[in-house]
Amino acid sequence: MALTTPVIVATYAEIALKGRNRQMFLRRLMNNMRHALVGEPVADILHVESRIIVRLDDPEAAPRVAETLRRIFGLQWVSPAVPIPRAEVDAEITADQAAGREPRLLTVGKVARELAAADRGDAAHFKVETRRSDRSIALTSPEISSIVGGEVWDELQLPARMHHPDLMVNVLVLKDDVLVFTAKGTAFGGLPAGVSGRVMVLLSGGIDSPVAAWLMMRRGVRPEFIHFYSGRSAEEAEAEKIEQLVKILGRYSPVPLNLWLVPVVSYESRAIGVITDAYDMVMFRRFMFLTAARLAYKRNCRGLVTGDSLGQVASQTLANLAAVAPDVTLPVLRPLVGMDKMEITAWSRKVGLFETSVLPYRDCCSIRSPKPILKARPQDLLRYSEQMQMDDAVYEALRAAVRITIPEAG
């Protein structure tokens, strides 16, 4: 039997630790939830005793809404739940006690049985866990777990197990309701989108930089994206793949995202005959950094994000990372710097980026000279920059930048 339910219950983790910022973070989190659920049959979103409860007008929407909420940063877990009015539960307890019986919690037990039966799968054991956010109920948490556990046992004929049970039945006692739920869908934690300010992400068509963007988004930043392409016009950029990646990242953002497409021809035309093959890669990266930094200032971004992972390729030696743009004063955030490719790929899959990232794409980095210098010297980079008039290359590139907003308005 498919159980449908009019309530989603969610918890947040990290926010609880944030002292005075807590109220602001919570407001932002709930606003982000509201944004993400525009168009869904949401009756209200309430902060109830350290949990967030979403009441739905249409129970059928519960699984979909829960899935959407799983992508809201700041939430720890999200679960559809069945609410039972506290008044009803309290009245049953009182009636049982008046009749000289042990309380039976029949209504809660019935819902727990139904949920457990629907979700049992091939579970070999189960556990009922009770939390009393409101302690005015006449039973303790262990008492409630034991009574409801008896009901579930009757239904499933499975042993209870306290540690690592296959199936969890949760009972949450609130002031006005008792919530019963089985699945605790883990969300990604982190901080609510927007609390950490804006950053400019250097986004390539590869596996790494989209993951880097996602990891920083999980720390509450609002990203803008800059992508460099070879070719003379944005139409020539074959940017569908890049747009698709931003679209996937946009599923984790409460607001539309901006992608800037920037041609690299202004670099290439000036580099010819001036920059040696050995220096082409690092100089090109310098061009990307300077251009991204200038756009970042214009767009009020307080940092740059890249997908660099130390030593992964020749251009990412420590010496090269340090030499490329010593004159860029914005912090450069490199969340992948200590990860290996397997970890990065695992994230890519988990986030839903991988299939798109591995589609064929001719990145303008991949057409650079294959043998870059491993220890570029900053003074050489600066001298080359003068010789090729790097500043002009950057200005020209930005003049030709095209902005795409994803998803488009309307």
304 contact, one of ligand ATP, Mg ion, none, CB 5-8 Å limit per kind: none
Nearer to Mg ion, 155 or 280 (CB): 280
Q: Which is nearer to Mg ion, 371 or 399 (CB)?
A: 371
What is residue 225's DSSP assignment? E
> Does 196 participate in binding Mg ion (rule CB under 5 A)?
no
Which region, judged by CB under 5 A, interacts with Mg ion, from 120-128, 198-206, 251-259, 390-398? 198-206
Of the listed pieces 181-189, 201-209, 233-241, 261-269, which binds Mg ion according to CB under 5 A?
Answer: 201-209
208/227 Cα distance (integer angstroms)? 14
Integer Cα distance of 391 and 405 in angstroms: 27
Across 32-148, the runs of DSSP E, i.e. the strands, are 42-48, 51-56, 75-85, 126-132
| Cβ count near 119 (within 10 Å) | 16
The per-residue DSSP string of 228-246 comes to EESSSSGGGG-THHHHHHH
**Where does this chain touch Mg ion (CB under 5 A) — which range of 120-128, 131-139, 204-212, 234-242?**
204-212
DSSP symbols for 321-371: HHHH-TT--S-EE-TTTT--HHHHHHHHHHHT-HHHHTS----TTTTS-SS
Q: Which residue of 103, 149, 165, 206 would you call a contact of Mg ion, by CB under 5 A? A: 206
Determine which residue in the list 130, 170, 182, 204 makes contact with Mg ion, applying CB under 5 A.
204
Q: Which is nearer to Mg ion, 209 or 266 (CB)?
A: 209
The packing angle between helices 141-156 and 106-119, to 10°, is 50
Return d(Cα 249, Cα 348) in angstroms, integer: 11
- Give min distance, CB of 35 to ligand ATP, in A: 27
Q: Which region, judged by CB under 5 A, interacts with Mg ion, from 48-56, 192-200, 206-214, 332-340?
A: 206-214
Which of 83, 26, 14 is CA-nearest to residue 54? 83
Nearest distance from C-beta of residue 408 to ligand ATP, angstroms:
22
Closest CA to 334 of 345, 322, 346, 342: 322
d(C-alpha 390, C-alpha 395), whole Å = 9
Choose from ligand ATP, Mg ion, none: what does 280 bind? Cβ within 5-8 Å by kind.
Answer: none
Instruction: Give the interface with ligand ATP as residue ranges (CB under 6 A).
Output: 202-204, 206-209, 226-228, 288, 306-308, 312-313, 315-316, 363-365
Q: Say which entry of Mg ion, ligand ATP, none residue 170 contacts (CB below 5 to 8 A, set by partner kind).
A: none
Measured between alpha carbons, how far is 193 from 25 in angstroms, rounded to an integer?
Answer: 10
Q: Nearer Cβ to Mg ion, position 77 or 287?
A: 287
Assess 309 for contact with Mg ion (CB under 5 A).
no
Q: Among Mg ion, ligand ATP, none, what does residue 339 contact (CB within 5–8 Å per kind)?
A: none
Q: Which does 25 bind (CB under 5 to 8 A by kind): Mg ion, ligand ATP, none?
A: none
Question: Using an 8 Å Cβ cutoff, are 306 and 330 in contact?
Answer: no
State in angstroms the smallest separation of the CB of 187 from ligand ATP.
25
| Interacting residues toward Mg ion by CB under 5 A | 204, 206
